[in-house]
Amino acid sequence: MKSFVSIVLIVFIQCVQVIANEIKENCEKVIREYFVEDIEYSFYEFEVPVDLKAEIERECSQRFFNDRFVVWEILKNDTVHALGLLDNVYGKSLPITFMTLFDKSGFILKSEIIKYRETYGGGVANELWMSQFNGYNDSSSYIVGEDIQIISGATISSYSVTRGIRKLSLIVKHILSRYENRTSSSR
């Protein structure tokens, strides 16, 4: 029995690693395809400060999936050119993993579903639907059915992804201010 449990545990861990690698590769593919010029990128985990987390969750009417998420720094000529934020939201019952690219001013350049796990509602992964967020920032209106088209058969996913992107547009301001503080303190 012990060996069976050990085998199941090893297989589970390997599956998690494969999925994590697949997500990382898909994110990097999104970055490379969007930024066709010479860029470098690296990523780190960002832990959302508790007070900021509570404020953003109230404003967006959606909880963070996790206390931390992944931030990609996209560099051009050794300077931060853009940021990519990877997060998850719940669809009907399973997580939807998505990435949003922001310019240095906090405007959305591109959003893309990285992994959709539900059997229904996959219309949110449609590039045309996701492109409606391009140019949005933390001051934009994200009202589903008015500013954001709702997808028939993907109502829950439409709302979840929209709120998730809104959350990232609010948190990216905080992350970008950390870069500004570093730049001004080095002068």
Query: Which residue would you say has higher pLDDT here, 52 or 6?
Result: 52
Q: How confident is the model at residue 92 (pLDDT cuts 50, 70, 90)?
A: confident
> How much is the pLDDT for 2?
61
Any idea where the domains of the chain sit in the sequence?
2-185
Query: Which residue would you say has higher pLDDT here, 98 or 152?
Result: 98
Return the DSSP state at 144.
B
> How much is the pLDDT for 94?
92
pLDDT of 16 higher than 60: no
Of 159, 178, 163, 29, nearest to 87 by C-alpha is 163
Q: Look up tokens 């860029």; give the residue.
A: 39
Q: How confident is the model at residue 122 (pLDDT cuts 50, 70, 90)?
A: confident
